[in-house]
Amino acid sequence: MRVDDDSGRIRATGSAPDEQAAAAPPAARDQAAVRRTAARGQSRRAAARGPDHRAGRVSGLVGGLVLGLVVVCLVAAGRGQVPISPGEVMGSLLHRAGLEIGPLPSAVQGENALWLVRFPRVILAVVVGAALGCAGALMQGVFGNPLAEPGVIGVSAGAAVGAAAAIVSGVTILGSWTTAGAAFAGGIVTTFLVYAMSRANGRTEVVTLVLTGVAVNATAGALLGLLMFLTDDDGVRAIAFWQLGSLAQATWGAVAVAGPCALAGLAVAAACARKLDLLALGEAPARHLGVDTERLRITAIVATALLTASAVAFTGIISFVGLVVPHLIRMVAGPGHRVLVPASALGGAIVVVSGDLLARTAIDYQELPLGVLTAVVGGPAFFWLLRRTRARAGGWG
Amino acid sequence: MIAGRGIRVRLGGRVVVDGVDVRADAGEVVALVGPNGAGKSSLLAALAGDLPAGGTVEVAGRELAAYRKVDLARLRAVLPQKAQLSFPFTVSEVVRMGRAPWAGRPESAQDDDAVDEALRRTETSSFAQRPFPALSGGEQARVSLARVLAQQTRILLLDEPTAALDLRHQELVLTVARERAEQGAAVVVVLHDLGLAAAYAGRVYVLADGRIRGSGPPAEVFTEELLSEVYQHAVEVLPHPHTGGPLIVPRRKL
């Protein structure tokens, strides 16, 4: 069987396609399967209306994500021990903005529950989710590898070590920014370390990257264990909180620190988007198209560390968001980073806000750790992605 | 248009290009030929500025190192030997990447035309909306060429553009290269097929062991003595019965 060059039609020549595929070596068989699927999906009809079709899907996707995020935020702010309807949440927001529209919360302490507890928590969830989703997309672009993610390759763990070191040592040189600053330092050191260790001949092999992540996570785990051994009960509790990941300690202060870091990271990521597309061609071809690849990589890595640090500084490790969200976006909107980067930020925010809503309302008077919840979903998704990547590349490309 | 003087490249402690002078002027196709490991691709990479090399490379009268990367990208395009792509962009997206150096300039108004023209010229329009990784090796090679053509530069450096192609598409690619030269471009192309080099190149450089063993019009350079020695295999050179151009045939014991 082969795909005809000029018409895109499939012609069977000689023996039946499946017999031929079975006779071929495994790598060739996988490749043939991929080609077959692709040819089936991309009929001539699709070729004729391709660009418009995708543009429509892109605007639909972005619009849907924005709407979804607003709805999820309104619902999340209303749910909890003091129930407030989404309409009342909206009304409270509008009244604060100086517009006398809509109902105010009717529940006792409703205003306080919203403005002192729920809003900072929901907004921090938005910040953390957007940062993680965007960091995943950015990191995958830089490594040229769809399996790169702060949690998988150990950057989150490195940032946690930095934060734990700050907690245990009791250093407060940067005031309320100390923990975030230490997380940033830990994150950036780990990112450069992983980058340097997993690259060979200008590209990053899947297996090298993932194994580097295993090694980094193991080392970071040991350092965290050592720090827990050295510290007192409060320190142990604080570090355990880090490893599980939770938004329970959200305050306006945390939002004020994490928000600007994440915004800066998002802005840099958006500015890099077009160049990241070119980087998909490889190091040298991107350079031949005018990209200063070394500068791009360093800028993107610093931005990733900034995003990861802002995500983990107050909430600990929430894994897999940066892995799964960009992947889903790519399936809908294609791999172009100008859509992928902002859409992954929006998608990540939706996932973390709804994940946190589930974590604090699933069991009465108890809170599930959010990091555990995302890992329960993200772990199997990672497994599936690995299998898929392996099939597509015909090996551990 | 592009000229290298005294180019010397070391790879892994071995000198693979040893003091070579090459140049390609506007309007000509120049082929680099020679046996495996002769240093053809390394020489091309040195001309592209991809390898740290001794000697000087001049592009349009200025030293290579004096250019900003984006200015250079508007002046010369490079086709790599092997195409890679990390994410499943479609063919038309890949070709459009060739327009990146022109972003934010008046020339970017011609982006659509340049992409369409490049797709048409390489006969890849029919699968423009398919994902690049789903194509065959030969199709990918033509799409990569389309990307390089869409860049619309006055210098083209092509590293084995015909390696994965069938007979018809080999001829197509070199016809396109020749057309570009006739429109005023300087084209440097690494080729394995001496017949193609003889037919399409105005001048050839024969490389062996990192040195130039012969240069000039193919009819003068492609002699039985030189080719037999360089390829370490007896070679016959016959005049074509109709055109009189050189036909290169390895001697075979059959």
Nearest CA in chain B to A292: B69
Residue in A288, A296, A338 to test binding to B, most B beta-carbons within 10 Å:
A288
Of the partner residues A35, A50, A280, the one whose CB lies closest to the CB of residue B86: A280
Phi-psi region of B231 (alpha: psi -120 to 50; beta: other; left: phi over 0): alpha
**Residue A11 confidence class, pLDDT cut points 50, 70, 90:** very low
- How much is the pLDDT for A37? 43
- Give me the residue label for tokens 């109709």: B242
Question: With contacts defined as CB-CB under 8 Å, which chain B residues touch A2?
Answer: 136
Of the partner residues B72, B76, B129, the one whose CB lies closest to the CB of residue A42: B129
Report how far apart, in Å, the C-alpha atoms of A309 and of each of A156, A207, A238, A345 are. 8, 25, 17, 15
CB half-sphere exposure, A276, CA atoms < 13 A? 28
Residue-wise pLDDT tens digits, A102-129 = 888 887 788 888 898 899 999 999 999 9
Q: How far apart are the first and last CA of chain A?
A: 25
Domains within chain A, CATH numbers bracketed:
1-48 (no CATH), 65-393 (1.10.3470.10)
Burial status of residue A86 (CB atoms within 10 A of its CB: 0-12, 13-18, 19 or more): middle
- The shortest C-alpha distance from A44 to chain B (Å) reads 8
- Residue ranges of the alpha helices (H) in B16-159? 40-48, 69-73, 91-97, 111-121, 137-150
Strands (E), chain A: 2-3, 10-11, 199-200, 203-204
B151 and A289: CB-CB below 8 Å?
A: yes
Question: With contacts defined as CB-CB under 8 Å, which chain A residues touch B70?
Answer: 290
CA angle A103, A109, A113 (to 5 degrees): 90
Look up residue B190 and give its two tokens. 């690494």
Residue-wise pLDDT tens digits, A195-240 = 888 877 666 666 787 788 889 999 998 998 899 888 888 888 878 8
Residue-wise pLDDT tens digits, A92-107 = 899 888 888 888 888 7
The ipTM value here is 0.92
3-state secondary structure of A324: helix
Look up residue B14 and give its two tokens. 């071995």
Taking the CB of residue A284, how many other CB atoms lie within 10 A of it?
17
Is B133 near chain A, with CB under 8 Å? Answer: yes
Question: With contacts defined as CB-CB under 8 Å, which chain B residues touch A280?
Answer: 85-87, 89
B128 and A50: CB-CB below 8 Å?
A: yes
Q: Which of residues 280-319 of A touch B (CB under 8 A)?
A: 280-282, 284-285, 287-292
- The shortest C-alpha distance from B131 to chain A (Å) reads 8
Residue-wise pLDDT tens digits, A247-273 = 888 889 889 988 998 999 999 999 999
- Give me the residue label for tokens 């938005």: A126
Residue A41 pLDDT more than 60? no
Across A181-202, b (16+ Cβ under 10 Å) vs e yields bbbbbbbbbbbbbbbebbbeee
